[in-house]
Amino acid sequence: MRLIGPSNEQLGVVSLAEALRTAQQAGLDLVEVAPLATPPVCRIMDYSKFKYDQTKKAREARKVQKTTKLKGMRFRPKIDDHDIEFKTKRVQEFIEEGDKVKLQVLFRGRERDHMELGRAVLERVANALKEVATIERPPLLEGREMTMILSPLQRKPAAARPPGQAPSGQPPAKPPAPPPGQPAPGSPTGAKSAP
């Protein structure tokens, strides 16, 4: 097997007994890191410290990771305009925080005969939020309720650039030259340019 030392130095191809003896002399563990390689690769390391570092890295990765939640907002088919506006603002706050939102319209009694009213409420909210959200799942009837899921738009962060700088990092293009016989913009009208 190929043996790698504790300081990442190559110790060459050695037998298993010699690798174990070398690891015991160093007071460390012998860990097989590439069993499918020919010859298999083993490394001398402190395995408990290695496992601790792995869990620490995984914990840090989870801490940085943004988890999206599914929030909910309920409506009725005969909802007033002001109530729709108020709830739409609340849904927008959820979406700007990065959460998905499940919109529900609940139908009772004879309201179920007029499903188009519920669909109109959902479409009105989706149209009001089209700048910040996209429809992940269109309106769908599930029993006595109609649901739709909105998710935040995926926006690329805009890099800060100095004023007057083009998006590609190039300076802005020069304006086209004026036609012959007309003065250039910003120059006095009576002055002629030298040939």
Residues 144 and 74 in one domain: yes
Query: What is the reported pLDDT for 80?
Result: 92
Residue 174 belongs to some domain of the structure: no
Burial class (CB in 10 A: 0-12, 13-18, 19+), 79: middle
Lowest mean pLDDT among 18-32, 40-54, 149-163: 149-163
pLDDT tens for residues 117-162?
Answer: 999 999 999 999 989 999 999 999 988 999 999 999 876 555 445 5
What's the confidence (pLDDT) of residue 87?
94
Of 21, 22, 17, 19, nearest to 41 (Cα)? 19
Same domain, 76 and 126: yes
Q: Are residues 40 and 91 in the same domain?
A: no
Task: For residues 29 and 57, state if they share a domain.
Answer: yes
Residues 66-76 have a mean pLDDT of 86
CATH code assigned at 147: 3.30.110.10
- The radius of gyration computed from the CA coordinates of the chain, to the nearest angstrom, equals 33
Would 187 be classed as within a structural domain? no
Whether residue 89 is found in the same domain as residue 137: yes
pLDDT digits (tens, 9 = 90+) for 171-195: 555 556 666 666 666 555 555 555 5
**Does residue 157 contact residue 150 with C-beta atoms inside 8 Å?**
no
Quick one: 53 and 82 in the same domain?
A: no
Task: Identify whether residues 88 and 147 lie together within a single domain.
Answer: yes
Residue-level pLDDT at 121: 93
**Domain shared by 45 and 92, yes or no:** no
One domain, residues 35 and 49 = yes
Question: Are residue 80 and residue 134 in the same domain, yes or no?
Answer: yes
Q: 121 is in which domain, residue-wise?
A: 70-152
Q: Indicate the pTM of the whole model.
A: 0.50
Instruction: Encode pLDDT of 80-127 as tens digits.
Output: 999 999 999 999 999 998 899 999 999 998 888 888 999 999 999 999
Please indicate, yes or no, if residue 96 is contained in any of the structural domains. yes
Measured between alpha carbons, how far is 138 from 4 in angstroms, rounded to an integer?
57
Please report whether residue 22 resides in a domain.
yes
Query: Residue 58 belongs to a domain with what CATH number?
Result: 3.10.20.80
**In this structure, are 97 and 145 located in the same domain?**
yes
Q: Look at residue 114 and tell me if it is in a domain.
A: yes
Residue 148 CA to residue 118 CA, distance in Å, equals 11
Residue 179, in any domain of the structure: no
Residues 6+ apart with CB under 8 A from 133: 91, 92, 95, 101, 126, 150, 151, 152, 153
Band the pLDDT of 8: cuts 50, 70, 90.
Answer: confident
Residues 20 and 52 in one domain: yes
What's the pLDDT at 150? Answer: 93
- Could you tell me if residue 170 is inside a domain? no
**Structurally, how many domains does the chain consist of?**
2
Number of helices (H) and strands (E), helices first, in the chain?
4, 8
Query: Using 50, 70 and 90 to split pLDDT, how confident is the model at 6?
Result: confident
